[in-house]
Amino acid sequence: MPLVTKDLVPVIVKTGASARIAEDVAPSFNVGDKVRAKNINPLTHTRLPRYVRGKVGTVVLDHGVFVTPDTVAHGQGEHPQHVYNVAFGGDELWGGGASSKDKVYIDLWDDYLEKVEA
């Protein structure tokens, strides 16, 4: 994947640029799996929102394999992995005063998640 330069931005905005990649990578999780967002605090780029770190959610969709933005942003290669849509309950994110019926859905890469044993 080439580095994005200033002159490429108009083309990307006009045509779109998917980070999906045709790699055969086994998924780490399945729809319905309980997962915990890792509680990491990198000094560099991440797409893992701070408010979900350490929180438990449920995988609701596997989007397929994508380039990892954390590694690409630092010239460390594509590091292809699955991206999952994960649902977090409001009570999990904001405590008992929030409704468990409220959900926040976030797309997260394999590297951001760990399996929660039942």
Q: Which pLDDT band holds residue 102 (cuts at 50, 70, 90)?
A: very high
Contact between 39 and 113 (Cβ < 8 Å): no
CATH number at residue 57: 2.30.30.50
Closest CA to 37 of 102, 103, 113: 113
Domain that holds residue 37: 19-115
pTM (2 decimals)?
A: 0.81
In this prediction, residue 68 carries a pLDDT of: 81
In this prediction, residue 23 carries a pLDDT of: 79
In a domain, 49, yes or no: yes
In a domain, 5, yes or no: no
Q: Which range among 5-9, 21-25, 46-50, 63-67 shows the weakest confidence by mean pLDDT?
A: 5-9
In a domain, 89, yes or no: yes
With a cut of 70, say whether residue 81 has pLDDT above it. Answer: yes
C-beta atoms surrounding 12 within 10 Å = 10
The number of folded domains in the chain is 1
In a domain, 99, yes or no: yes
Contact between 36 and 108 (Cβ < 8 Å): no
Closest CA to 118 of 60, 30, 34: 34
Task: Return d(Cα 100, Cα 97) in angstroms, integer.
Answer: 9
In a domain, 107, yes or no: yes
